Amino acid sequence: MTLKLVSKVSSEHLVSGEDWECLMWLNGKLYSAGYASGKIKVWSPDLQQVLKEWPAHEYPIYHMCPGPPPTFFTSSSDCTIKQWEEGENGDFVLIATLEGHEEPARKLRFDSDKKRLYSGDELGKVLIWEDGKLIGILETLEEIWDMMIYNDLLFTARHLDVVINTLSQRGDQIRHSVKNTIPGKGPFLITKGEKLCFADRSNFQIHVNEAFKSGNANLAKLEGHESIVNGIASHNDTLYTSGSDKKLIAWNLTTLSRIESLNLDGYVNDIVISDSDGTIYAGGQDNNIFAVKLT
């Protein structure tokens, strides 16, 4: 199998010195946002057209995540979280502004089962929101670099450990207790095959562990990157990683081996995958985005 570059952002949309910090695939469209401004761009799947651009925040955007359909959330260095919905005319309408963080929320995750938004910030606080209201605060005591919610488990990471917390609720009180700590750091994800994939402390190697079995045993250590890994995503039984070495690597999660690597024209900060045709989008340096397919 081969990784093939099928499209990238045209030169007229590149901005030297500016980066895309985060990407999001939602409702058949690609969204990009970054540090340079609080603007969001919406792209056609082939990256040849900017469908919409608007100032979502006055300051840089750190993260975006899908919310209750068809809405989504954004977080910014202004410490606010905003919820958006696309109107019938194609404009994006602000539904709510959530305030409660003392420091910016670095990661947003929406629990579609419980209809709750989790936002993790630079102080190590995870705020829990329901219907736009703050219903709980968890203190992890470590800046949140990445975060995942899976049933009653909260996964968090900074630069030393991936921490697995068990969540419980009694009345209105939401609590957490540490279930396990694994040496490693973000970015990380949980695959449909119940594997926990994350960067090791050096940030060059990808570890694959059991996500839910007792002890979270290590299954493999994947080597291939020469610099910091920033982006990680999976589709079916394939894992994709990329970062500062400008490489996009595809890994087989069944055989736990490398499939193929592709050199890109710039470093990558985030990866997302189209849920319609499996196209991999990698974005980062100079506001570039690469569309890649595994064929």
Per the structure block, which two tokens stand in for 148?
Answer: 């995942």
What integer best gives the mean pLDDT of the chain?
96
What percent of the chain has pLDDT above 90? 94
283 pLDDT higher than 90? yes
Given this model, what pLDDT does residue 49 score? Answer: 94
Query: Are the beta carbons of 221 and 204 closer than 8 angstroms?
Result: no
Angle, CA 183 vertex, CA 123 and CA 159 arms, to 5°: 35
Sheet holding 39-43, edge to edge: 20-26, 29-34, 39-43, 50-55
CATH (one of 3.40.50.1970, 2.40.50.140, 2.130.10.10, 1.10.3720.10) for 3-294: 2.130.10.10
**Residue 235 in tokens:** 């589709």
User: Buried b / exposed e across 105-140, counting CB within 10 Å, b at 16+?
Assistant: bbbbbbbeeeebbbbbbbbbbbbbbeeeeeebebeb
For 77-91, the pLDDT digits (tens) are: 999 999 999 988 889
pLDDT at 90: 85
How long, in residues, is the chain?
Answer: 295
3-state class (DSSP) for residue 197: strand
pLDDT digits (tens, 9 = 90+) for 91-148: 999 999 999 999 999 999 999 999 999 999 999 999 999 999 999 999 998 999 999 9
- pLDDT tens per residue across span 147-157: 999 999 999 99
* pTM of this structure: 0.95
Domain ranges (residues) in the chain: 3-294
pLDDT of res. 35: 78
Proportion of the chain above pLDDT 70, given as a percent: 100
Token code pair at residue 126: 């995870």
Burial 242-276 (b: 16+ CB within 10 A, else e): bbbbbbbbbbebeeeeebebbebebbbbbbbbbee
Q: Are the C-beta atoms of residues 73 and 87 closer than 8 Å to each other?
A: no
pLDDT in tens, 35-88: 778 999 999 999 999 999 999 999 999 999 999 999 999 999 999 999 999 988
pLDDT at position 158, please? 86
Q: Where are the beta strands (DSSP E) in 140-237?
A: 146-150, 153-157, 161-170, 173-183, 185-190, 195-199, 206-210, 218-222, 229-235
**Cα–Cα distance measured from residue 38 to residue 28, given in angstroms and rounded to the nearest whole number:** 22
The model's confidence at residue 159, banded by pLDDT at 50, 70 and 90, is confident
Query: What is the per-residue pLDDT for 17?
Result: 87
Peptide bond before residue 187 is cis, with ω within 30 degrees of 0: yes
**Nearest one of 158, 233, 220 to 191, comparing CA atoms:** 233
Phi-psi domain of 171 (left: phi exceeds 0; alpha: psi -120 through 50; beta: other):
left
B/e letters for 190-209, b = 16+ CB within 10 Å, e = fewer, are bbeeebbbbbbeebbbbbbb
CA distance readout (Å), 131 to 72, 97, 134, 147: 13, 12, 9, 21
pLDDT class for 289, splitting at 50, 70, 90? very high
